[in-house]
Structure formats: C-alpha cells, structure tokens
Structure 1
Amino acid sequence: METQDVLEPHLPTLAEMQKWTQVLGRAQQLMLEQAAGATGRMLPFDPEVVARIQTSFADEGLALWQRFLDSGGLLRDQPAPPPADSPAARKDRRFADPAWTTHPFYDLIRQSYLLISDYLMNLADAVDGVDPKAKAKLRFATTGMLDAMAPSNFPLMNPTVVEKTIQSGGENLVKGLQHMLADMEKGQLTHTDGTQFELGRNIAATPGKVVHETPLYQLIHYAPSTPKVLATPLIIFPPWINRFYILDLSPEKSFVKWAVDQGISVFLVSWKSADASMKDMVWDDYILSGQVDAIDTVRDLLNVPSVHTIGYCVAGTTLAATLALLAARGEADKVASATFFTAQVDFSAAGDLTLFVDDEQMKLVDRLSSSGFLDGRYMAATFNLLRGRDLIWNYVVKNYLLGMDYPPFDLLYWNGDTTNLPARWHRDYLTQLYRDNLLVVPGAISVAGTPIDLTQIHTPAYVQAGKEDHIAPLESVWKLTEHLAGPVRFLLAGSGHIAGVINPPVAQKYQYWTVEAREPTLDGFVASARETKGSWWPDWAEWLRAIDSREVAVRGARKPGGGKLRAIEDAPGRYVKAR
C-alpha cells in the first residue's frame, strides 16, 4: 500500500503529546491503587525494580523520538526500524498491514503503543508483596486494558480501516454499524455466519437415534458403519456448558463419525440447556441422574458388564467424581476405561478462569441467575475475555470497522451456540472446585451422602492435554495423573482446548507427545516425550483396543432402536436444538 493512498495525519502537537503522557500517568495510578487495595498498603513495589523499568521506558521513548526525527519525521521516505531487542520491534498480528511500518505516522503510533504496553506489563509484574492471585488479577486487567486501547481498534488510527473507508465511501462503517447493532440486540458477539449451518444436515450429522431421554439429557446411539464392533461400547460425555456437537462437527472433522468408522459402538449424551425447571439441580444430578444413569442404561441395553467412557472438560471433572463414587460403592467394574479430554480435578493451577471466582463475581452470578439458571451468553463472554485479543477485538476490527462479511466456520458456529446452566450447580462448581479445590481432598465432597476419594480410582485412564490450552492449562490437567491410582497414559496434543482435541487424522495438523513409561512429574514427561506428527486419535484407538479387543457382530441392540430401547427420534435430537 502506497502512502499517498492513506489519509495523511499530522505530526502530534506538544499538547497532544502531553495528553498521551497524562493518559499513561492515569493508567499507572490506577495500577498503583489496585495494588494498594489488594494489600491494604500503598506502593507495594520494589523501588529499585520500578526505577529500572521507568528508566528503560524513558530511554526507549527518547530513542524512538530520536529515530523518528533523524529520519525526517512525517516526511521520511524510509522507515527507521527499532533495534531488534527493543519492545517496539516485536512482531504482532494486529499490525500486519505494511503501512504500520512504512508510513511514518502509523509506525510511530505502533512503536509507541508497544513501548507503553511493555512498560505497563513490566510495572504489573513489579508489584511486590501481594497474594499471587491478586497479582494475577492485576496482570489480567492490565492485559485487557492494553488489548482494548490498541490503536488497531480505532478507525482513524488503523491504516487498513482508513483505506477501506476511502475506497468504499464509508460503506464499511455503515455495514459495521449494522453488525454491531445486531450483536447488541442479541447480546452476544458474532463470529461466523450462522445461516450456513443446519443441525442434522451439515453439522451434527452423523446418523443415529435418540434411544433414551430424561429431564437432564438425551442418549444418542450412533449407527455402526462396520459389520463388527468392539464388544465394549463407548459413552461420550461432552461438557454441558456447550452443545455436544463440538465432537460431531462437519463429517471430515467429526470425532464421533471417526470413532464409529473405527468399529466402536458409540453412545453420546446430549445435555439439556437449563431452564427454570432445572433451578434446583446440583452436581449430584449430573453424576447420578446423568453419567451413572447413562452407564447403567447402555450396560442394560447391550447386556455388557462395562463400558468405555470419555469426559470432555467439565464432564471429565464429573467423570472423575463418578468413578470415585462407583469405587466407593464397589461398582468400579462398570467402567472399563476412562478417557479425559482437557479435564481438571485439581484446580490449584487452573489458570485465568480462577480470577472469575471471587465474592464480587459470585454476586454477579447470583444477579444473573435470578430465574434459576445462568444465561449461556455470560459464560461465552467469560471465555472470550480469556482470549480478548483474538475473540473480541479481532472481530471488532473485522466486522465493525471493516464491515467484513462473516465467514462460514462450523467451529465458531458451535462456539456461539450457548447453553444455559443451572444456577445452584454452577455456583457450587465455582466455589467448591475452582475456589476451594475440594475435589482432591479425600472425603471433602460427598455424592448422595457417599464421600468420594479420587485416589481410590483404579480404572485405566487416558489423559489428554493441550499444549496451548488457556481454559484447562497443561500444568492443571497433568495434576489429574497424580490423583489416579490405576494405569494412566498421558498424552500432550499440539494446540489448545478445542483444536487440540478436534484434530482428525485426515487433516495432518499439529502433533502430539507421548512417553511409554509413566513419568512421575510433568517436567520429566516433557524432557523425555517423543513427538509424533499429526492426529493423536489413532493412538487413543490403539490404547482402547489394547484394553479389550473383542468384537461382536452388528445385530439386534447394536443397531440404534433395535433392542429394548426403541428410537425416540433421529439424531441429533430435540435437546441440542432447544434455545
């Protein structure tokens, strides 16, 4: 992009530079006040550290202006790049447009912003003598503020938006306003064109039947695609904070379809999105009336002694509690194996989500749950905040400022398809697990009056974690292996909470790491792990068959609706469509 195509701004005046200095000073003061409030005393900083940070910032700022003036200011022809070790030299996807480095004004704005960001983050890290959680809150808030004030988010500071506005005669801003007003009306940020997807047609389309229904869930039995299947069936428990079909996206991405094609009898629980009728439901209901009921239903339907299980995210947490309950009851043999997708049981290292579990947040949850359930849009907004740069501001620029059309993307469609949560259960989950970390304390939690203890679980387990997971951090998922008494295979997948799980072999994306001998520590695992390119799904299937490779012919109850449980309706069922 040539500079003459860009709206030419003027060199900042002294008054404008003084204004920016005042803004920076106010931001610094807010940080000081926050830190003081967290500790009950003023200035919890190491003066020497702060002095070094301020001196470095002043030196970098003066060097930036000197480079700018020496190269001719706004009249320069060639950019004056910062030194390679300067924060202003950092690569950043928000500034991918060449004008951010070739146009002197935008280059100055970009480098100034990166220097200020580095300064404020260093200042947040320099807070001393506070509780680690308080310091994490300060860092999270600082990151959020800096993401929000990025010059790329403002139309007159973003060269891509300026050029688009000139070329379209402002039509992009009108279209962006339409997008923004539509999002305000529905109370949720839009990420994709939802009109391109239809449940049961091009998403959640794996053939099957709903064969069992309760007020809490529907049980889907998928139609086999092979003449024989594993004798031990598989039940998948997806998280109820989202719709189940993250595991059954388009056919080429569907874990469910892939598992069926491997000759596995697959059942899946589709949870009901909470309404006022579910206001009194608690965690015990999801364990007993949910997971235990589904396990017993499938065992009885197929006349088998045990089932394989998968628990994803919060459903994995609950699966661990279910296994502990079965162990306490002497019924552990009902489950032949347990697979955990990015699941946590020990929340001592649960990441930024723990920042949303304080008294003020609990009061907010109570206010938002006056009808007995929590609107799923609140949780969606929370997860978006964890990656605000990618899931909020990226779309503000693309859809509100540039007026771009929404791309059809099945994963983002699922991400925006929110579910409501029972208020009592959600509050208990946040306080008992995230805040108080009671699940890993033997006997601290009881289910239907039975104390549970994770260390009594001897069921073979497959624990999968995502290397870049921001919802269930690697360090937190690893802790699950430290509480299980049975054989455990730990696998680290490339990418994060979703892409790390939904990685079909045909895509040939990412990689995974394994260690054949069980390592006692995460550091030991990382040091000795072997990397394998591509999807980890075949590794899991091989592990599953090693537990029990017996097969049976597909007939009778092995076909959906062919046994004592008649088909209620076609998959994906009514519950997933309820809004």
Structure 2
Amino acid sequence: MTTNEIETGEKLDRLNANLAKVEALSLKLAEVMARHKPLRNELNAPEPEVFVNAATAYWQGMMENPGKILENQLDLWSKSVKSFVDAQNLILKGQFAAPQDDTPTDRRFSHHFWQDHPYFNMLKQQYMRNAEAIKIAVSELEGLSAKDKQRIDYFSRQIIDMMSPTNFLGTNPEALERAVETEGQSLVDGLENLIADLDANNGELLVKLADESAFEIGGNIATAPGKVVYRNRLFELLQFSPTTDTVYEVPLVIFPPWINKYYILDLKEQNSLIRWAVAQGYTVFVVSWVNPDRSLADVGLDDYIEEGFLEAIAQIKEISGQPQINAVGYCIAGTTLHLTLSLMKKRGDDSLKSATFFTTLTDFGEQGEFTPFLQNDFIDGIDEEVAEEGILRSFIMQRTFSFLRSNDLIYTPAIKSYMMGEAPPAFDLLYWNGDGSGLPGKMAHQYLRDLCQSNKFVGEGLQMCGETLKISDVDIPTCSVTCETDHIARWKDCYRGYQQTKSRSKTFIVSQSGHIAGIVNPPSKKKYGHYTNTKLSLSADEWMEQATFHEGSWWPRWDAWLSKKSGKHIDARMPGTASHPALGDAPGDYVRKKALK
C-alpha cells in the first residue's frame, strides 16, 4: 500500500468518525430543541391580513394589467434559461467554466466557486434573479396602505435574505470545502456551536457574535477608574477619578440608554468617551442602569424620570456643591432627558445648565425601518409578552435589531459559526452588543404606545408625573449629535424633533457613520468627519446641502461648546464626599447583571 493510499484511508477514517459525531450531536440538538418555548406568533410575523391584502393586490394587478406581470415573469424566465443554456454549451465544448454573469457584486458570494464553478454560479445567478423578481413584484403592488406596503417589503426582504444559497450547507461551496479539508471536524465544531447557542437561550436561536471569554467587565473593558457614589433600585451613580489637576466647576452627567450597558462609552482606553471627557477637565458622572428583573414590572417612564434622572441630578448637586450641572442623554435616554426637561420647566427647576443629545428621537411621526414592528399586531404581542413575563426580555429586542441587518448580524455569523465551525471573534463592540438589558413591562408599554405610536410628546402632550409634557417646553441651551447612516435613530427624524424645541441656543451636528461608530469616534482615530450648519429652520435635505463638512471627530467641537457652559476651573474633585462615601469601585455591580432569558 502506498503512502498516499494510507493517508487517504486515514482521512476517510477521520471523516467517518466525525460524521458519526455529527449523528450523536444531532440527538443532543433534538434534546435542546425539545425545551424550546416558542415566542408568540405576533412577535414573529404580522397578522395574516397583511399578507392576504398583499396577495389580493397582486392578483388584482394581474387581472387589471396582466401584460405588466407577464413581462416581468418572461424576463426572469428568459434570463434563467439563457444562463442554463450558456452553461450547457460551455460543458459541451469541454470547458468547465461559468457562463457570462451580469449579476451585481455581493460580498456573500466572494468565494471563487460562485464565479468560476458552473453549478454554484448558476445557483447564485438564479437566486439573485429570483430576488430581483420578488423586489419588483412588491414595488409594483398597488392598493395597499403605505405602512402595509412597507411591511410587505420588509418581510419579503427577510425571505430573500433567508433563502440565499449561502445559508445552506449543500449549496455553500466554502462550507463544503472546509468540511472536506478538515475531514468533517468543521461540521462537528459547528454543530457544537449551534447547540451551545441554543442551550444558552432556552432553545431560541441567537447567534453568539463575540467570544465572551475574551472580555471581563472591569478587567479589560469598562476600566475607567472611579467609584460608585450612590445606588437605588434603578441605577448606580458612577463618579470617575480626575486625571487633571483642575476641573470645570460644573459637573457633567451622562445618561446612557437602559436597553444596553453604559460601557459602550468605555470599551477600551483608546475609544473611551468617558476617559476623554475626564481628560478634558470635566467631573464626569455616569448613570449605570439596573438590568431589571420581574420585580420591576410596574416601573414606568415616570419612575425613570423621578427615580432616575431627577434623583441622579439631585445627588450630583449634593456631591459637587453646584446648583447646576450639564447633562447628556444617549438614544432612549436622550428622549427621556427631553421629557425630564419638560417636567423641570413645569416645576420651575433650573438644575440643568445645558443638555446634549446623542442619536435622540422625539418626533416619531416617521418610523423608518421600525415601521413593521410598531403596528398594533406586533405591539399587542409585546403587551401580552410583558403581561406574562413582567419585562420585555432582552433577546426579543436583540433579535428585532438583528433582523434589520440580517445578513451582517444573523446569517453571516451563523455561517461562520455553524457551517464553518469557527469560534466567534474577540470583538469588544459585539460583546457589548450581546450584553443587553430587558425593559420593565410598564415602561416598554408606555414607550411603544404613547411615544412611538401616538407621538404624544410632539402632539397633544404626554401625561406624566402629574404634568402634560411637550417638546416645546424644552428651552435650555442644547446640542444634538446625530449620525449620517444611523438606521435606528435616523438623523433626519432626530432633526425634525429637535427643530420643535424652543431653545434659543441650539447646535446640531451630523457625524459620519452609524448609531455607535458615529458617536464612539475618538479624535485620535481620525476616521469619521462631521457636518454642521447653524440654519435650523431649513428642511433636513436643505440643511445637509448647505452644511459644512469638517474632517475628524466631533468630540473637540462639542468640548468647545460644553466648556463655555462649565464655569471656571477649580481643584480636581475626588469621587465621593463624606456624605456620599464610595460604595465600591467602578464599574459597579449593576453593569455585571445579565438579562433574564
């Protein structure tokens, strides 16, 4: 027996052994799935009437204008047949090659087999032509409401993305090639990854995006030195240690969103907004919200305002001895900071000297990519969920956000983990993304019904904390920072709401990039620029057309704005006081609490 025959035999033995392991793991997979408690149908798809209406509209269109639909179908058929015939002709000529391919470039199909191999190339071409046919059919639907059409468009795109041949082992050449190269070990590793992810989420499939073992909160992320100087049931107040001999007398408090953890602003030293602000001479406080359990089911937006925002402000005034402070609100916390400012105006409370908003929506008249999830059928499902669970569980929100970018956040990671058998990367941003927080049931209901659906804050007013809160009550100096490609809080929507405040001193900035990268954009990186324009009466499009582009981060521009509202320099403050002794080191305890499954 030759050496090659021996090696081939050994490889075959290893392949058979690994395939046997796959069979054993399949049984374990079945056990895990048996424990799965599926989500209610309302959270998975719209009410059937939406699809019935779409089918009726398509059928009606075919009856009224059959030529148009047949024309689209014949175009698809002819291109499909031509691709097949071209491939056959090449094979008959003895050429094992793909036919001419005029489909657009798509990074999902970057492996050379998709371009070179006639079988896989034909699969790719047919998939992309089918996808285009579906998009055209949906775009030409008539007789539907704008929202129903947007929902059909969204769910049809989900089907298109899901049915990509890259998502199936038998039609993914890269995964098949890896299986052969590793004698099946990649399939074993992938199945183990799949089982681990399902087991970690009670049978619900959430692809792990980052290597959790690579990060330790307070160890190599969230490491800015400081102390916990106050705690109540909703938050811990962190005061960070100064790195300058003097500081501005007016302190700064940052309210992060309670959908995620605060340490997006302190991932590592090089991109920590918290460390940078401390280095500019600000006394920085950050609210670290609790990850709610079912005992907080009845906590509402009014509690977040009274026990969260107003309580933090009061505590910082006591600690600093200052009558006024500057505040920042990020995302949903920026929305709630607007509500707080309206309430403070009603009560004659001038404790805030200025307010800065990061990617903050206040006018929900246009719901953008969230339109499919902000209709009654879906929110009825949320209401039933929180009535049963007490909270809106984190993985439901995480899943929703992921499907907005399904190829990047679901299918591509799933292919790498489950088909290729790769371990998730040690990526701090993705680790943070997976370290989510739930929402108290009452708060989730109020936010979705009163703000997102009814848009009361910019309309008739929101009844809360014994007052009618309106955006027109906000009149202190403000700065709003938005992000050009943000799909969560679109900058044009942020701008529309910001225009409705009555502040006489308003600064509006659009940073390049998206919801996170546009905010976490340190000057040292010299990566993303930003736009400014002082003419805030213009439409959003006019504002951008006339805006001035600036190279580099917006952080120094904000520093120049904020420093003018921060008073004189005084000796640096160490965290805590005699009346507010340190309760522990930053980042505290609340940030380490994991979300309920």
* Fold match by TM threshold 0.5: yes
Change (3 A) 1:537 1:353: same
Matched, 1:505 2:519: no
Q: In structure 1, how many angstroms separate the alpha carbons of the residues matched to 2:50 and 2:384?
A: 25
Matched, 1:43 2:59: yes
Q: In structure 1, how many angstroms separate the alpha carbons of the residues matched to 2:94 and 2:445?
A: 59
Cα deviation for residue 312 of structure 1 reads 0.8
Specify the alignment match of 2:133 in structure 1.
Answer: 119
1:152 corresponds to which of 155, 166, 169? 166
Specify the alignment match of 1:7 in structure 2.
Answer: none
Q: In structure 2, how many angstroms separate the alpha carbons of the residues matched to 1:50 and 1:509?
A: 47
Cα deviation for residue 295 of structure 1 reads 1.2
Q: SS state of the match for residue 219, structure 1? A: strand
Q: In structure 1, how many angstroms separate the alpha carbons of the residues matched to 2:279 and 2:462?
A: 39
1:225 corresponds to which of 237, 243, 258? 243
Cα deviation for residue 33 of structure 1 reads 8.1
Cα deviation for residue 475 of structure 1 reads 2.2
2:494 corresponds to which of 458, 466, 477? 477
Q: SS state of the match for residue 486, structure 2? A: coil
Amino acid at match of 1:571: A
Cα deviation for residue 38 of structure 1 reads 5.9
Q: In structure 2, how many angstroms separate the alpha carbons of the residues matched to 1:233 and 1:50?
A: 64
The 8 Å contact of residues 196 and 408 in structure 1, kept in 2 or not, is answered as yes
Specify the alignment match of 1:404 in structure 2.
Answer: 422
Q: In structure 2, how many angstroms separate the alpha carbons of the residues matched to 1:74 and 1:388?
A: 41
Specify the alignment match of 2:273 in structure 1.
Answer: 255
The 8 Å contact of residues 226 and 586 in structure 2, kept in 1 or not, is answered as yes
Change (3 A) 1:274 1:307: same
Specify the alignment match of 1:179 in structure 2.
Answer: 193
Q: SS state of the match for residue 561, structure 1? A: coil
Specify the alignment match of 1:65 in structure 2.
Answer: 84
TM-superposition CA deviations, 1:67-90 (whole Å, max 9, x none)? 43444479535543334xxxx2x1
Structure 2: which 5+ runs fail to align?
A: 1-45
1:359 corresponds to which of 376, 383, 388? 376
2:575 corresponds to which of 544, 560, 568? 560
Change (3 A) 1:222 1:449: same
Specify the alignment match of 2:100 in structure 1.
Answer: 81
The 8 Å contact of residues 354 and 434 in structure 1, kept in 2 or not, is answered as no
Change (3 A) 1:149 1:306: same
Change (3 A) 1:263 1:74: farther
Q: Where do 1:485-524 residues align within 5 Å?
A: 485-486=502-503, 487-524=505-542
Cα deviation for residue 40 of structure 1 reads 7.4
Q: SS state of the match for residue 564, structure 2? A: helix
Q: In structure 2, how many angstroms separate the alpha carbons of the residues matched to 1:31 and 1:449?
A: 36
Specify the alignment match of 2:23 in structure 1.
Answer: none
Q: In structure 2, how many angstroms separate the alpha carbons of the residues matched to 1:261 and 1:526?
A: 32
Q: SS state of the match for residue 348, structure 1? A: coil
Matched, 1:373 2:380: no
The 8 Å contact of residues 301 and 563 in structure 1, kept in 2 or not, is answered as no
The 8 Å contact of residues 49 and 126 in structure 1, kept in 2 or not, is answered as no
Amino acid at match of 1:138: I
Q: In structure 2, how many angstroms separate the alpha carbons of the residues matched to 1:380 and 1:74?
A: 52
The 8 Å contact of residues 374 and 448 in structure 2, kept in 1 or not, is answered as yes
TM-superposition CA deviations, 1:416-451 (whole Å, max 9, x none)? 112121011101211111111112114x31221111
Cα deviation for residue 365 of structure 1 reads 2.2
The 8 Å contact of residues 254 and 329 in structure 2, kept in 1 or not, is answered as yes
Matched, 1:104 2:118: yes
Moved more, 126-135 or 170-179: 126-135
Specify the alignment match of 2:591 in structure 1.
Answer: 576
Q: In structure 2, how many angstroms separate the alpha carbons of the residues matched to 1:67 and 1:481?
A: 57
Moved more, 141-150 or 517-526: 517-526
Q: In structure 1, how many angstroms separate the alpha carbons of the residues matched to 2:174 and 2:123?
A: 14
Matched, 1:536 2:554: yes
The 8 Å contact of residues 374 and 422 in structure 1, kept in 2 or not, is answered as yes
Q: Where do 1:332-343 residues align within 5 Å?
A: 333-343=350-360
Specify the alignment match of 2:26 in structure 1.
Answer: none
Specify the alignment match of 1:384 in structure 2.
Answer: 402
Moved more, 56-65 or 242-251: 56-65
Cα deviation for residue 531 of structure 1 reads 2.0
Change (3 A) 1:96 1:225: same
The 8 Å contact of residues 354 and 435 in structure 1, kept in 2 or not, is answered as no
TM-score after normalising by structure 1: 0.89
Specify the alignment match of 2:479 in structure 1.
Answer: 462
Amino acid at match of 2:352: V
Q: In structure 1, how many angstroms separate the alpha carbons of the residues matched to 2:197 and 2:254?
A: 33
Cα deviation for residue 54 of structure 1 reads 2.9
The 8 Å contact of residues 54 and 141 in structure 2, kept in 1 or not, is answered as no
Moved more, 188-197 or 205-214: 188-197
Q: In structure 2, how many angstroms separate the alpha carbons of the residues matched to 1:40 and 1:350?
A: 26
Q: In structure 1, how many angstroms separate the alpha carbons of the residues matched to 2:480 and 2:151?
A: 29
Cα deviation for residue 276 of structure 1 reads 2.1
Amino acid at match of 1:448: C
Specify the alignment match of 2:467 in structure 1.
Answer: 450
Cα deviation for residue 303 of structure 1 reads 1.7
Q: In structure 2, how many angstroms separate the alpha carbons of the residues matched to 1:74 and 1:118?
A: 31
Cα deviation for residue 149 of structure 1 reads 0.6
TM-score after normalising by structure 2: 0.86
Q: In structure 1, how many angstroms separate the alpha carbons of the residues matched to 2:567 and 2:97?
A: 67
Cα deviation for residue 121 of structure 1 reads 1.1
Change (3 A) 1:233 1:172: same
The 8 Å contact of residues 535 and 543 in structure 2, kept in 1 or not, is answered as no
Specify the alignment match of 2:209 in structure 1.
Answer: 191
The 8 Å contact of residues 35 and 127 in structure 1, kept in 2 or not, is answered as no
Q: In structure 2, how many angstroms separate the alpha carbons of the residues matched to 1:31 and 1:220?
A: 45
